[in-house]
Amino acid sequence: MAEDVLSPLAGKIIAVNIEQGADVEEDEEILIIEAMKMETPIYAPCDGKVAEIKVKEGDEVEEDDLLAVIE
């Protein structure tokens, strides 16, 4: 079952710590968003394989934008 990773806030993607096809563990840091000069880590919601990465470093995102999909 695929699990969507959504942005918790609006900001800029400053780090993508995963690659498509990579195995991730629940609570592994996969992305970092910067908003108002604060860095917010985004963690994998479940164990699985990264099916899709929808963002790259430098992308601006809004709250609830789809960032990645983990299967």
User: For each of the chain's 71 residues, which pLDDT tens digit applies?
Assistant: 799 999 999 999 999 999 999 999 999 999 999 999 999 999 999 999 999 999 999 999 999 999 999 99
pLDDT of residue 69: 97
Give the structural domain span for 44: 3-70
Tokens representing residue 65 in the block: 């934008």
Q: What is the model's pTM?
A: 0.93
Q: Give the total number of structural domains in the chain.
A: 1
Q: Write the CATH number for 43.
A: 2.40.50.100
Cite the beta strand spans of the chain per DSSP E. Answer: 3-6, 11-16, 23-24, 29-35, 38-43, 48-53, 60-61, 66-70
